Amino acid sequence: METKVPTTVLIKGGTIVTATDKYEADIFVSGETIQTIGLNLEVTADKVIDAKGKYIFPGGIDPHTHMELPFMGTHSSDDFETGTRAGLYGGTTTIIDFAIQNQGNTLNAIIEEYHRKASKAVGDYAFHLGVTDFNSGTKEEIKDIILKKGISSFKVFMAYKGALMVDDRQIMELMTETGRYGGMVIAHCENGDIIDGLVKEHLAAGKIEPKYHGICHPELAEAEASGRFIDLAHHTKSPCYIVHMTCEGALNKVKDATKRNQKVNVETCIQYLVLNDELYERPGFEASKWIFSPPLRKPKDQEALWASIRQGIVHTVGTDHCPFCMDQKRMGEKDFSKIPNGAPMIENRMEVLFSEGVVKGRISLNKFVEISSTNAAKIFGMFPKKGAIAIGSDADLVIFDPNEKHTISAETHHMRCDYNGFEGMEVTGKTKTVLLRGTVAIENGKALVGSGFGKFVHRAAHNVELRRENERRASDD
Ligand code: URP
Ligand code: ZN
Ligand code: ZN
């Protein structure tokens, strides 16, 4: 795509909102970074943007996506190009995607494969590394991956028995090894054995419809695995992060850990805050649209998640963006356990969170920025390059109209998926203009940057301080 790229941009008259502040000022961007922030700046620029009446947020960071993921006999339908572009439309400028090891292969092989896949990204990206087979060979790879390859978070699955699931011994050994170099283990916490048993029982009883997915992934299975993962981290004196937490039972495990002064980093996803398990009662095969793991929960869990965000117990809101079109979902028409798990979410995360969170009075504006951008940057070693509006930070900026109303629909979204899980939802607040590293990426409803514009974000080995804190705490025990 041929575009004249301005090298300087002046954003005038907007209200800058960060995780801590809200104030009116102009922002002068030179090259890829923010050069000056001040009142009534008198500078000339290649491009001037009038942001009066708009908020300016740091670019959103989605800490949990799966682009082109090979999964359950198919691939998620967005690749790095279509998925990161859709993210930009919704104000997400950086994603952290999961490069998941194929059992039997090296970690370095999957990193190379993901660099190849991601070379067409439109938005910026980093990787978590999914470890599905931890052995003496993979152990040797860890040090260089953290210290030289810019990947410092390692994901384990406590579910998907017979596919991605690892055992507790592997988790502990991975924690110990990654902890040595300032890495962190992050986990999908559901008890794979409980789920496996329930799925078999239901199928044997002829219960094949999508709604049984929810019933076979009970709250208890998530709470048990969350508590176990937290205990393993405590035992190995390691920092930890739990992805896509959905329920009160799991949150209670996190609260319990704070009583022994353990820090647990927690992510939830936008769908768990806004949608609930009534959707599994939709007729026919429609419920398959919301088949992901963990599943949607009850209104009491949604309340617990919002409260935990306010209390600082939940730190990030991601998406677990992993779209499958309806033709792909239909692979499980006769067996709910074969429905590819995942849904399209990346484009709507920021606007739905703003509308349901800030506009409805559940969270403050600063909290919105914290959980949609800044905390992910801090936890995953990207701050203050990302997640901040500050001199020297990347000029990843979202100019946002807090009053514009619109209705979410698959007809107008940019994700490569033929349905939208929020179809028909009216939201207040719209991403108008997005800058990615100083270049106007989205303007007037159009993407102005193309395939390959996105850059890999090399993350720091970031948990040395956290680790010291955990060690101090352990020596006090
Ligand atoms: O259902 C989900 N979440 N699909 C993607 C893989 C995962 O568990 O994160
Ligand atoms: Zn997961
Ligand atoms: Zn996921």
Structural domains of the chain, with CATH: 58-386+459-467 (3.20.20.140)
- DSSP assignments along 142-173, one per residue: HHHHHHTSS--EEEEES-STTTTB--HHHHHH
Q: How many residues would you count in the chain? A: 477
Residues 6+ apart with CB under 8 A from 204: none
- Backbone φ and ψ for 334, nearest 5 degrees, come out as -110, 5
8 Å CB contact between 392 and 33: yes
Q: What is the mean pLDDT of the chain?
A: 96
CA 135 to chain centre: 28
| Per-residue model confidence as pLDDT tens digits over 62-73 | 999 999 999 999
CA of 65 to the centre of ligand 3 (A): 6
Q: How far is CA 203 from CA 199, 212, 399, in A?
A: 6, 9, 49
Residue 125: which of 78, 187, 175, 56 has the closest Cα? Answer: 78
In this structure, which amino acid lies at residue 121? A
Burial class (CB in 10 A: 0-12, 13-18, 19+), 469: middle
Q: How many CA atoms lie within 13 A of 318 on its CB side?
A: 27
What are the pLDDT tens digits along the chain (477 aa)? 545 556 999 999 999 999 999 999 999 999 999 999 999 999 999 999 999 999 999 999 999 999 999 999 999 999 999 999 999 999 999 999 999 998 889 999 999 999 999 999 999 999 999 999 999 999 999 999 999 999 999 999 999 999 999 999 999 999 999 999 999 999 999 999 999 999 999 999 999 999 999 999 999 999 999 999 999 999 999 999 999 999 999 999 999 999 999 999 999 999 999 999 999 999 999 999 999 999 999 999 999 999 999 999 999 999 999 999 999 999 999 999 999 999 999 999 999 999 999 999 999 999 999 999 999 999 999 999 999 999 999 999 999 999 999 999 999 999 999 999 999 999 999 999 999 999 999 999 999 999 999 999 999 886 555 556 655 655 655
**Alpha carbons 382 and 214: distance in angstroms, whole number:** 35
> Strand pairing of 426-436 and 397-407?
antiparallel
The closest-lying atom of ligand 1 relative to the alpha carbon of residue 291 is 1
**Alpha carbons 234 and 457: distance in angstroms, whole number:** 29
Residue 308: which of 264, 355, 365 has the closest Cα? Answer: 264
Structure tokens at 100: 């998941």
Pocket residues: Cβ below 6 A from ligand 1: 66, 188, 292-293, 320, 322, 341-342
End-to-end CA distance of the chain: 59
The closest-lying atom of ligand 1 relative to the alpha carbon of residue 341 is 1
| Per-residue model confidence as pLDDT tens digits over 322-333 | 999 999 999 999
Phi-psi region of 272 (alpha: psi -120 to 50; beta: other; left: phi over 0): alpha
Tell which one of 322, 329, 339, 346 to mutate to probe ligand 1, the residue whose CB is within 8 A of the most ligand atoms: 322
**Alpha carbons 294 and 19: distance in angstroms, whole number:** 29
Query: Torsion over CA of 466, 382, 458 and 123, rounded to 10 degrees?
Result: 140
CA of 375 to the centre of ligand 3 (A): 18
In this structure, which amino acid lies at residue 68? E
Going by alpha carbons, the residue nearest to atom 9 of ligand 1 is: 320
Ligand nearest to the CA of 323: 1
